[in-house]
Amino acid sequence: MNSVRIEDAVKRFGSTRALDGVSLEASEGITGLLGPNGAGKTTLLKVLATVMSLDSGSIEIFGRDPSRHRHRLDIRRRLGYMPQEPGFHRSFTAFEFIDYVAILKEMTDRKARHAEVDRVIALTGLEKVAHKKIKALSGGMRRRVALSQALLGDPRLLILDEPTAGLDPEQRLRFREVMSRLGEERSILLSTHQTEDVAALCPRVIVMNHGKMLFEGTPKDLREVARGSVWFSEARAPEARLSWRTGEGVHRNIGTAPPGANLVDPSVEDGYLLLLGDEAFIEAAWRRSRQCAGRPWFTGRYR
Amino acid sequence: MSWHVEPEMLEAYAHTAIDDAHAYSIEAHLVSCGECRAQIATLGDQKELETLWTEINGAITVPTPGIIERGLLRLGVKDHVARLLAATPSLSVSWLGGLILALGFAVTAAHLSSRGFLMFVVLAPLLPLAGVAVAYGPRVDPTYEIGLAAPLSSFHLLLVRASAVLTTSGGLAFVASLALPQKDWAMVTWLIPSLGLTLASLALTSVISPLRAATGLAFVWVSGSALALYYAANTAATAEDLFGGIVQLVMVLVTVASVALLFGRRGSFERGVRH
């Protein structure tokens, strides 16, 4: 049985359609949501986490209708949710905060609750900072605290909104390890800007933009979108829709390849960029330029 | 480590065949003695030992809670309720300090003039109203969204926090009123308006945002009181005249209507309150 089923979901904010006729089904395994800012990923995840209702369309989670009180409660008992911008009671320690959320998850027995808090702390590798105040933790550590609270109670459905944002490479690898283990026996829906995470983790990927689903398939399928459209050249190819100089000094081009072009195997990011076009490219380039300490390394029409 | 637990004692401990006093003493020793820990690992039922270790570990690693939480625990509040309340902004030390300061000024003003007493009656109901407004909701509770996605009833959480805020604010205002110059029933004329305004703000929170509800009600209360004070400026009207009879009756009706609306619309809190 599908854990999640949404049909023709519409959510408006004023004149903006954050969700514009989205339909999807998800069962066990990890589904990655990709899309630029404002694509509708967060709205979709909020709806699935039962914290936002739809204007029209239907939704079922574990065969339950979240608009009905009893059903919503049943869903929430099997749900773990990490919002995009999780808030913290900063005077709490990491342990106290996770313990607080455990109480919100109806764990009232102190011993059992503390054992569960210890379990998720160990799962996310927070043992050394468990008794530090949250206000003293780094952004990456706080993200892990937010992830820990989502894992409380071993939920059957995990909804994670940009869980890898702000994590350093080592933390991201640990996150992937934890997720791949958890994804074997439950449904995980996660949104991300990192195509590497999707390629490494998600058997299924959905690309969204302007509230619509543009693509649904495997990471391999997404790579195939760019098959025959990615090539290397010494200089920026005029035919290229998107072009940037790589660390090796050659230009990686995406677009309609000229005859005899040095075609290369496309990546998930190539497929994503080609699918979304200019908008995604600008965002990816901006993000990377920030990682390069303000020295944009990409070339092309947006420089 | 200069001494170790005798093997017979350790064996008895491993099989939980020992009195509490000796068990506590051994546990205290085990925390710092690796040799005895290694010894006990070879004895007794492993599952039972794991349970024991979980308990010991829990006791030594869980940090001391904050001052508010400790106070609540001492008052006999259950530990999970105390933690829920410790996360309430209007039950923080700084908020309570501000409350005491405001009441201190109001009592001082009451001693300086008869108008000062009236100011106390106007101010006191605003304190729980403000406290409840910042006790729950998307703008004031950083974990609001996580809490909404959790199974614990949001309505239940709201009531627990509002009750605690009402009790602390009302309690402090009552203590302050004992220091007022007037020693008749007029010194508690603020009590029913406090209840009415706080419950009205909770009921309105099912329709509008908590901050808007509290701000609107505070405006109505202060404006009404200011008008009453203005028209009574040249008379010998007392607090009983201005805030007695009719005002008390109206506030009782507001309280009853608010309770009815609040419980009638409790389902709306589970879907989330407005920002």
- The answer to whether residue B141 neighbours chain A at the CB level (below 8 Å) is yes
Q: Mean pLDDT for chain B?
A: 86
Instruction: Give yes or no: residues A46 and A162 share one domain.
Output: yes
Reported as a single tens digit per residue, the pLDDT across B246-272 is 888 999 999 999 999 999 998 888 877
Closest CA to A45 of A65, A31, A27: A31
Structural tokens at position B109? 């003003």
Instruction: Give yes or no: residues A212 and A167 share one domain.
Output: yes
Tell me the HSE value of B217 on the side-chain side, using a 13 A CA sphere: 32
Domain residue limits at A281? 223-291
Distance CA B206, CA B128 (A): 18
Q: What is the pLDDT of residue A3?
A: 87
**Confidence check: pLDDT of B82 > 80:** yes
- The answer to whether residue B50 neighbours chain A at the CB level (below 8 Å) is no
Closest CA to B213 of B102, B151, B144, B129: B129
Instruction: Give yes or no: residues B25 and B113 share one domain.
Output: no
Give DSSP secondary structure letters for B62-125: SPPPPHHHHHHHHTT--HHHHHHHHT-GGGSHHHHHHHHHHHHHHHHHHHH-HHHHHHHHHHTT
Distant-in-sequence, close-in-space partners of B108: CB < 8 Å, separation ≥ 6: B116
Query: Closest Cα of chain B to A38: distance in Å?
Result: 19
Instruction: Give yes or no: residues A125 and A187 share one domain.
Output: no
Q: Smallest Cβ distance to B146: which of A69, A83, A93?
A: A83
Q: What is the pLDDT of residue B52?
A: 66
In a domain, A298, yes or no: no
Instruction: Give yes or no: residues A56 and A180 share one domain.
Output: yes
Taking an 8 Å cut-off on Cβ atoms, the answer to whether B146 and A101 are in contact is yes
Instruction: Give yes or no: residues A241 and A137 share one domain.
Output: no
Closest CA to A19 of A63, A52, A51: A52
Reported as a single tens digit per residue, the pLDDT across A195-215 is 988 998 999 999 999 999 989
Distance CA B64, CA B62 (A): 7
Q: What is the pLDDT of residue B119?
A: 84
What is the mean pLDDT of the segment spanning B4-31?
85
Give DSSP secondary structure letters for B186-200: GGGTTHHHHHHHHHH
Instruction: Give yes or no: residues A166 and A280 share one domain.
Output: no
Instruction: Give yes or no: residues B146 and B232 share one domain.
Output: yes
**Confidence check: pLDDT of B202 > 70:** yes
Instruction: Give yes or no: residues A106 and A197 share one domain.
Output: no
Going by DSSP bridges, is the β-strand pair A56-61/A79-82 parallel, antiparallel, or unpaired?
Answer: unpaired
Distance CA B176, CA B178 (A): 5
In a domain, A15, yes or no: yes
Instruction: Give yes or no: residues B104 and B229 share one domain.
Output: yes
Instruction: Give yes or no: residues B40 and B164 share one domain.
Output: no
Taking an 8 Å cut-off on Cβ atoms, the answer to whether A105 and B149 are in contact is no
In a domain, B2, yes or no: no
Give the number of domains in chain B. Answer: 2
Query: Closest Cα of chain B to A224: distance in Å?
Result: 37
Taking an 8 Å cut-off on Cβ atoms, the answer to whether B152 and A113 are in contact is no
Q: What is the pLDDT of residue A301?
A: 34
Which of B17, B46, B62 marks a domain boundary? B62
Instruction: Give yes or no: residues B118 and B154 share one domain.
Output: yes
Instruction: Give yes or no: residues B223 and B122 share one domain.
Output: yes
A148 within 8 A of A134, measured Cβ to Cβ: no
Instruction: Give yes or no: residues A71 and A163 share one domain.
Output: yes
Instruction: Give yes or no: residues A66 and A166 share one domain.
Output: yes
Q: What are phi and psi of B190, to 5 degrees?
A: -80, -15
In a domain, A297, yes or no: no
Instruction: Give yes or no: residues B89 and B14 share one domain.
Output: no
| Residue listed under structure tokens 């608010």 | B258
A176 within 8 A of A200, measured Cβ to Cβ: yes
What is the mean pLDDT of the segment spanning B96-112?
91
Residue A5 is inside which H or E element, if any?
A: strand A4-13
Which of A147, A169, A190 marks a domain boundary? A147
Instruction: Give yes or no: residues B85 and B132 share one domain.
Output: yes
Q: What is the pLDDT of residue B131?
A: 93
Query: Closest Cα of chain A to B123: distance in Å?
Result: 29
Taking an 8 Å cut-off on Cβ atoms, the answer to whether B79 and A110 are in contact is yes
**Confidence check: pLDDT of B47 > 90:** no
B76 within 8 A of B44, measured Cβ to Cβ: no
Instruction: Give yes or no: residues A166 and A266 share one domain.
Output: no
Reported as a single tens digit per residue, the pLDDT across B138-183 is 888 899 999 999 999 999 999 999 999 999 999 999 999 988 887 7
Interface mutation vs chain A, best among B146, B268, B270, most A CBs within 10 Å: B146
Taking an 8 Å cut-off on Cβ atoms, the answer to whether B87 and A51 are in contact is no
Which of A191, A217, A243 marks a domain boundary? A217
In a domain, B20, yes or no: yes
Closest CA to A9 of A46, A36, A63, A64: A46
Distance CA B246, CA B233 (A): 19
Q: What is the pLDDT of residue B59?
A: 60
Instruction: Give yes or no: residues A11 and A73 share one domain.
Output: yes
Helices B154-177 and B191-204: crossing angle in degrees, nearest 10, is 160
A203 within 8 A of A218, measured Cβ to Cβ: yes
In a domain, A303, yes or no: no
Domain residue limits at B21? 7-62
- The answer to whether residue B142 neighbours chain A at the CB level (below 8 Å) is yes
Taking an 8 Å cut-off on Cβ atoms, the answer to whether B87 and A89 are in contact is yes
In a domain, B83, yes or no: yes
Sites in chain A below the pLDDT cut of 50: 289, 292-303
Instruction: Give yes or no: residues B26 and B97 share one domain.
Output: no
Which of B23, B46, B62 marks a domain boundary? B62
Give the number of domains in chain A. Answer: 3
In a domain, A299, yes or no: no
Q: Report the 10 Å Cβ neighbour count for A68.
A: 11
Chain A residues 58-117 within an 8 A CB cutoff of chain B: 69, 72-73, 76-77, 79, 81, 83, 86-93, 95-96, 99-101, 103-108, 110-111, 113-115
Instruction: Give yes or no: residues B108 and B19 share one domain.
Output: no
- The answer to whether residue B144 neighbours chain A at the CB level (below 8 Å) is yes
Instruction: Give yes or no: residues B29 and B114 share one domain.
Output: no
Instruction: Give yes or no: residues A274 and A255 share one domain.
Output: yes
Residue A21 is inside which H or E element, if any?
A: strand A16-26
Distance CA A74, CA B103 (A): 45
Which CATH number fits the domain that encloses residue A63?
Answer: 3.40.50.300
Instruction: Give yes or no: residues B129 and B248 share one domain.
Output: yes
